[in-house]
Chains A and B, each alone.
Chain A
Amino acid sequence: MKPARTTLHAWLMLTPAMLLLVGFTHYPAIATLWHSLFTTPRATRPARFIGAENYLALADDPVFWQALWNNLVYAGATIPLSIGLALAMAMWVNGRLAGRTALRIAYFTPTVLPMIAVANLWLFFYTPDYGLLDQLTATLFGWGPTNWIGQQETALGAMIAVAVWKEAGFFMIFYLAALQAVPPNLYEAAAIEGASRLRVFLRVTLPLLGPTTLFIAVNAVINGFRLVDHIIVMTRGGPDNATALLLTHIYELGFRFWDTAAASALTMILLAMLALAAAAQFAFAARRVHYR
């Protein structure tokens, strides 16, 4: 075959994937960047170029800083908690115990439920007075009614709990699969050496779960910024922005205030943050995670 023909074939084969990538990833990202440099067009005022002014306005916006801080707290709590809980649950249901299948299903159920349904379920749990949580704390500790999602001190924590509950079961499935792939002879060898259970966990199990942990961690980081459906349903970012995250703030700017330019600018910031996080994770992974 002639080289020109080969090149043509290559391009033809690349085209479908490239069209999708350009149409749904690259073009939107560049268009967002472009729009973030203009004012929002209105009926009587067309868009005009203003450079970085949208970004400067964001820097002046206290809600942006609060959303950023909230999001760091939210991600910082949901990522380790959901991964840790997933690992613990996987170890637990991996062992030989009665009703193992029922337990696995129970842990996995939150993953199957749509987030909107989950949010409405938890809305009932958190209701003051007659909600499940208040009834529990009243019987166990004799506490009075608590407005879990209506006060600034507890609202973000309540949202984190829902996210962890929703995610842990999903991550558990991956850990469970990985655990079952660990060769039993390694454990037998460790037993002959007389290693303690903790040592076996740290030296055998955990390293072999490395690739799985990386995969889960990447997903957890993405979800730490992406999983906001329940916040929209339960608090809409309130009270007084206590549960506002970057994505809920983008939604608010874009679809409630119709300030699409400011929303574009904030989207670019979120994009940059996620790109940095992904780069850091893969750089770390290249050094520490061992694939067999």
Chain B
Amino acid sequence: MTQMTRRAALVAGAGLLATPALVRAQTVRELTFYYPIAIGGPVPRIIDGYCEAFQRETGIKVNPVYAGNYGETLTKAVTAIRGGAGPHFSVLLAAELHSLRDMDILTPFEEIEGAGDLDAWTRGFFPAFMANSKAGGKTWSVPFQRSTAVYFYNKDWFRAAGLDPEAPPRTWAQLVEAGRRLTQDGKWGVKMSSSAGNGQWTFGAMANQAGHKLMNDAGTETYFTDPRAVEAAQFWRSLAFEHRITPQGSIEWGVLAPDFLNQTTAMIWSTTGNLTNMRTNARFNFGVAGLPGKDAPRTVVGGGNLYIFKNASPAERAAALRFARFVAAPEMAADWCMKTGYLATRPEAWETESLRRYTSEFPAALVAKDQIPVATGELSTFENQRVYKALNDNLQAMLSGGKSAQQAMADTQAEATRVLRPFRG
């Protein structure tokens, strides 16, 4: 009898929280959800934990499927959807917005039954993270595993080289100066990734550092031949060829963290998502700082958003939205932030007791948050992967010495213009 009343109370409570349509969504028993992993650490265990907590609260079983890195997850999700057996929702790169819309596989959140007061909810995210979510007056995704580009530096090395470990470089000139003093035989001053899938992210930050944005908001035009874009490219090239503080050739994203932890590189341009990994595994003092800019720190946001797919039934869409709201709740977002280093996507999460305590013990976590105001949106256009490839190929050619910065940018622009032609006018 007591059990019955408890359950009745729970149902009544859920009914109060949820809009009527959500009650219908409870006929949904299972959801499938794809997620990528782009950082170190026990991410699957954390995700499993959230899905179990969601099931305890709602009775809906969410099957999380780890699907590789961002690119692989996108490929698997789209292939599965075209094959008719796709996931109901997925974490995919925030910057894929325009490409995914072009494939016509997304559900705008406004069209989900029982979405409730969507505006009030989406306004609660950091605006910089919502930059890649809205288009054509609709909301197509909400932030989940979001980060900003930051750099990690080895404080012990800084001290040994006679640099102040508490005053890491804030400008390009300071970066070059520090890099020259840190680079020794077989040890590099700084490394940033130029590999497929990552070069465009690094370069987006550099362009912002020179005060430039690479594309328009509609995702139909790119501006690679702008003098400031060329300046950014020239700066990157000079690190390898003129100052020789970074290796020539392309650098894989995956080697950055091991290089830093093995102390073969003094500074790595990485993501806040790696913070917990570094904190757990570094056997030396390390610091976190915002990426240096031409004049002052500037960076780029990155990471994945939650998208809900059209192939899900209305009830499944509503349940997926419920999951999105569940993981965005302040306590959950704070927990995600502490366990991975990804940024809690809503200001209110940073006000929670647990996250306040965490940041007072580990102030490095705040560095990333402080970068949000000086961060630009990620390069995002239609035919996104094609534009990425054009840019990354040219960056790699430039960094192996095959092309000048000018040439690399001109070639990228020519290819991007060709690819984007059908989307203009």
A residues sitting closer than 8 Å to B (CB atoms) are 42-45, 63, 127-130, 144-145, 147, 150-152, 236-241, 252, 255-258
Residues of A within 8 A of B393 (CB): 63, 238, 240-241
Q: Are A43 and B402 in contact (CB under 8 A)?
A: no
List residues of chain B with CB within 8 A of the CB of A44: 102, 104
Q: Decide: A239 and B396 in contact? CB cutoff 8 A.
A: yes
Contact of B247 among A128, A241, A258 (CB under 8 A): A128
A59 to B241: give the CA distance in the assembly, Å: 34
Tell me if B277 counts as interface (CB < 8 A to partner A): no
The 8 Å CB contact of B400, one of A129, A130, A151, A236, is: A151
Q: A238-B195, A239-B400, A240-B400 are in contact. List 5 more A-B contacts (CB 8 A).
A: A63-B393, A150-B247, A152-B400, A239-B194, A257-B385
Separation of A107 and B422 alpha carbons in the complex (Å): 53
8 Å CB interface, B175-216 against A: 185-186, 194-197
The answer to whether A147 and B248 touch across the interface, beta carbons within 8 angstroms, is yes
Choose one: A43, A63, A130; the contact of B101 (CB below 8 Å). Answer: A43
Measured CA separation A45–B394 after assembly (Å):
30
Specify which chain A residues have a CB less than 8 angstroms from the CB of B392 in the assembled complex: 238
Known A-B contacts A43-B103, A255-B75; A236 and B186 likewise in contact (beta carbons under 8 Å): no
- Establish whether residues B78 and A258, one from each chain, have CB atoms under 8 Å apart when the complex forms: yes
Quick check: is B90 within 8 A (CB to CB) of the other chain? no
The answer to whether B386 and A257 touch across the interface, beta carbons within 8 angstroms, is: yes
Are A150 and B103 in touch, CB under 8 angstroms? no
Q: Quick one: which of B247, B259, B385, B394 contacts A256, CB cutoff 8 A?
A: B385
Instruction: List B residues at the A interface (Cβ < 8 Å).
Output: 71, 75, 78-79, 101-104, 185-186, 194-197, 247-252, 255, 259, 262, 264, 383, 385-386, 389, 392-394, 396-397, 399-400, 402, 422
CA distance A6 to B75 in the complex (A): 50
Structural contact, B186 and A239, CB atoms closer than 8 A: no
29 A-B pairs with C-beta separation under 8 A = A42-B103, A43-B103, A43-B104, A45-B422, A127-B255, A129-B186, A130-B264, A147-B247, A147-B250, A150-B250, A150-B400, A151-B248, A151-B400, A152-B397, A152-B400, A237-B196, A238-B393, A239-B250, A239-B396, A240-B394, A240-B396, A241-B393, A255-B75, A255-B78, A256-B75, A256-B385, A257-B383, A257-B385, A257-B389
CB-nearest residue of chain B to A236: B196
* B186: A residues at CB distance < 8 A: 129, 144-145
Inter-chain contact A255/B79, CB cutoff 8 Å = yes
- Give the nearest-CB partner of B75 in chain A: A255
Residues of B within 8 A of A236 (CB): 195-197
Task: Write the nearest CB–CB distance from B39 to chain A, whole angstroms.
Answer: 18
Which one of A152, A237, A240, A257 has the highest number of Cβ atoms from chain B below 10 Å of its Cβ?
A: A240
> For B251, what are the chain A residues with a Cβ–Cβ distance below 8 Å?
147, 150
The docked-state distance in angstroms from the alpha carbon of A256 to that of B385 is 6
Hey, which chain B residues are within 8 Å of A257, CB to CB?
383, 385-386, 389
| Contact yes or no, A238 B247, CB < 8 A | no
A42 to B250, CA, bound (A): 34
Closest to B252 in A: A150
A interface, over-half SS: loop
State whether B71 touches A256 (Cβ < 8 A).
yes
Bound state CA distance, A12 and B256, in angstroms?
A: 61
Complex CA gap A144/B249 in Å reads 15
Q: Tell me, rounded to whole Å, the shortest Cβ–Cβ distance linking B98 to chain A.
A: 11
| B264 surroundings in chain A (CB, below 8 A) | 129-130
Of residues B71, B249, B392, B394, which shows the largest number of chain A Cβ atoms within 10 Å of its Cβ?
A: B249
A26–B231 Cα distance when bound, in Å, is 53
Q: Which residues of chain A are near B397, meaning CB under 8 Å?
A: 152, 239-240
What residue of chain B has the Cβ atom nearest to residue A63's Cβ?
A: B393
Cβ–Cβ < 8 Å partners of A252 in chain B: 389
CB distance from A253 to the nearest CB of B (A): 9
Q: B196–A238 contact, CB under 8 A?
A: yes
Q: Are A147 and B249 CB-contacts (below 8 A) given A238-B195, A240-B394, A257-B383?
A: yes
Chain A residues within an 8 Å CB radius of B104: 42-44
Looking at A129, A144, A236, A238, the one whose CB has the most chain B CB atoms below 10 A away is: A238
Shortest Cβ distance from residue B156 to the other chain A in the assembled complex, whole angstroms: 18
Nearest residue (CB) in A for B79 is A255
Closest to B411 in A: A62
**Smallest distance from the beta carbon of A226 to chain B beta carbons, Å?**
20
CA distance A208 to B250 in the complex (A): 48
Q: How far is the CB of A205 from chain B (nearest CB, A)?
A: 44
Which residues from B are CB-within-8-Å of A144? 185-186
Q: Which residues of A are found within 8 Å of B399, using beta-carbon distances?
A: 239
For B194, list chain A residues within 8 Å (CB): 239
Interface centre among A42, A147, A150, A257 (most CB of B within 10 A): A150
Contacts of A128 in B (CB 8 A): 247
User: Do A238 and B396 touch (CB < 8 A)?
Assistant: yes
Chain B positions within 8 Å of A147 at CB level: 247-251
- Bound Cα distance A144, B402 (Å): 21
In contact, B247 and A240 (Cβ under 8 angstroms): no
- When chains A and B are docked, how far (Å) is the Cα of A287 from the Cα of B197? 50
